[in-house]
A and B are shown apart, each in its own frame.
Chain A
Amino acid sequence: MDSNHFVKDPNVAVDDLRAAAETLIEKLQNDDYYEANEVINNINKQRDSLIFNNVGKLTRALHNAIVNFNVDAGEAEEGSDLSDKSQISDASDRLNYVLELTQGAADKTMDRVEACAPIAADISSESSQLREEWKRLKRREMKPEEFRQLYYRMDEFFARIGSGADQLGTNLQEIILEQGYQDLTGQVLKKVIRLISDVESELVQLVRIAGQVEDVAGFKSKADHEAAAEQNASGEGPQIKAKQRSDVMASQDEVDDLLSSLGF
């Protein structure tokens, strides 16, 4: 057997195996045990070589993938000092930044809304009280002393409306500005999405090669249903394609229907 046999693809290897099996049967039928043993040894050798060869390929591909990531990182991050960091840890930093930014924006927005609420409530209650007083005035039910009070109260209210509206305006403007996080996080997310799809295409290559090794070596991967059960318990997060999935509830109404079918 020459060394060229060692770099065959698995399909050719399977053909070789069949041929060897036929030879083996033939030798055994002819009581040629020494030659039969030789055939078995050759089959073993060939199988081992194929595994080693594929593990080699896998290692090389993995190495290339890692090298390529680092090269890409160097290009994308020109002038940055991230060279001692992997793309993946950089991506987690970026995602953490998204987390911080969205949290900050949500907090500031809610702060502003909470600052607006009492101003609006005050305007609403004071204006409805003044409207009642005004109606009394129109019905000429008001004494001169009461009118004098209303007069000053109106004056004060106009001033309050003015400054309240200014504060509301400022807060609304701040809320608009806070939405800038969408732009910043969007850019970061796009970068991370690009990285993930790069990693995926490299991984697909690795899986293909690893699959060949598994086929030859007879390894089995973890059963799918075990993995699914683990996923359910730890939670999956928001469903982004709920309408297209039959195992996912697309709305609160569907959840309610399901629960009522369970006797809720």
Chain B
Amino acid sequence: MDKNMKILIVDDFSTMRRIIKNLLRDLGFTNTQEADDGQTALPMLKNGDFDFLVTDWNMPGMTGIELLRQVRADERLGSLPVLMVTAEAKREQIVEAAQNGVNGYVVKPFTAQALKEKIEKIFERVG
């Protein structure tokens, strides 16, 4: 796994972005950027050669699930690995995220271990 890969963290709460950023740093990933909702994230993704997207679901403006749909619909971003880190835990929602092509799903509150495992698993598959 390339520790230098460029990661975008999308969450409307700066605290949660900071927690995720810190955990990623502990895992050796230091090349991170942040956005506070899908609307801000999408243009960043389109212009910014990101290797990995970590997004919340419930955000004002554009939700994470909508961002996922837009990413999958985009020709260039289509195969970008996406990890959802969210408090949304309903069966239908997880199924919906899976159907829309999410690569991993972590429910909040989460542990550093859970985040690490999911990221490793995603890059095992993606190669």
* Interface residues of A, Cβ cutoff 8 Å to B: 102-103, 106-107, 110, 114, 232-239, 242, 247-252, 255, 258-259, 262, 264
Question: B22 near A: Cβ within 8 Å?
Answer: yes
Interface residues in B60-91 by Cβ distance below 8 A to A read 63-65, 86-91
Is B114 in contact with chain A by the CB < 8 A criterion? yes
Q: How many A-B residue pairs have CB under 8 A?
A: 75
Q: A107-B15, A235-B58 are in contact. Are A262 and B95 (CB under 8 A)?
A: yes
**Contact B90 A239, beta carbon cutoff 8 Å:** yes
The docked-state distance in angstroms from the alpha carbon of A228 to that of B77 is: 31
B110, A232: Cβ atoms closer than 8 Å: no
CB of B106 closer than 8 Å to a CB of A: yes
Interchain CA distance A262-B58 in the complex, whole Å:
23
Q: Which residues of A contact B59 (CB under 8 A)?
A: 235
The interface residues of chain B lying within 8 Å CB-to-CB of A114 are 22
What B residues does A233 contact at CB under 8 A?
Answer: 63, 65
| Chain B residues bordering chain A, tally (CB within 8 A) | 30
Tell whether, in the assembled complex, residue B94 and residue A259 are in contact, meaning their CB atoms are under 8 Å apart.
yes
User: Does B89 contact A248, Cβ atoms closer than 8 Å?
Assistant: yes
The answer to whether residues A255 and B107 also contact, given A232-B93, A247-B91, A262-B98 and a CB cut-off of 8 A, is yes
Report which of B13, B94, B96 forms a contact with A249, defined as CB distance below 8 A: B94
Residue of B whose beta carbon sits closest to that of A113:
B22
Residue among A107, A234, A248, A251 making CB contact with B91, cutoff 8 Å: A248
Q: Is the CB of B110 within 8 A of A252?
A: yes
Chain A residues, Cβ within 8 Å of B114: 252
Taking Cβ atoms with an 8 Å cutoff, the residues of B that contact A are: 13-15, 18-19, 22, 57-59, 63-65, 86-96, 98, 105-108, 110, 114
- Residues of A near B110 (CB, < 8 A) are 252
CB distance from B119 to the nearest CB of A (A): 14
B22 contact set on A, CB distance < 8 A: 110, 114
A242 touches B58 (CB 8 A): no
Contacts of A264 in B (CB 8 A): 98
Closest 9 CB pairs of A and B: A235-B58, A238-B87, A106-B15, A249-B89, A262-B98, A239-B89, A235-B57, A247-B91, A252-B114
| Contact B88–A236 (Cβ < 8 Å) | yes
A236 touches B90 (CB 8 A): yes
In the docked arrangement, what's the CA distance between A242 and B105, Å? 17
Known interface pairs A237-B88, A239-B87; 15 further A-B residue pairs with C-beta atoms within 8 A, sorted by A's residue number: A103-B14, A103-B15, A110-B19, A232-B92, A234-B63, A235-B65, A236-B88, A237-B87, A248-B89, A249-B89, A252-B110, A255-B106, A259-B98, A262-B95, A264-B98
Assembly CA distance A102 to B22 (angstroms): 19
Q: Is B58's CB under 8 angstroms from A258's CB?
A: no
A239 CA / B93 CA spacing, docked (Å):
13
| Contact present for B88 and A235 (CB under 8 Å) | yes
B15 contacts A236, C-beta separation under 8 Å: no
29 of the cross-chain contacts (CB-CB < 8 Å) are A106-B18, A107-B14, A107-B18, A110-B15, A114-B22, A232-B93, A234-B58, A234-B63, A235-B59, A235-B64, A236-B58, A236-B88, A236-B93, A237-B88, A239-B87, A239-B89, A239-B90, A242-B89, A248-B90, A248-B91, A250-B89, A255-B94, A255-B106, A258-B91, A258-B94, A258-B95, A259-B94, A259-B98, A259-B105
Contacts of A259 in B (CB 8 A): 94, 98, 105
- B90, A247: Cβ atoms closer than 8 Å: yes
Most chain-B Cβ atoms within 10 A of its Cβ — which of A235, A236, A262?
A235
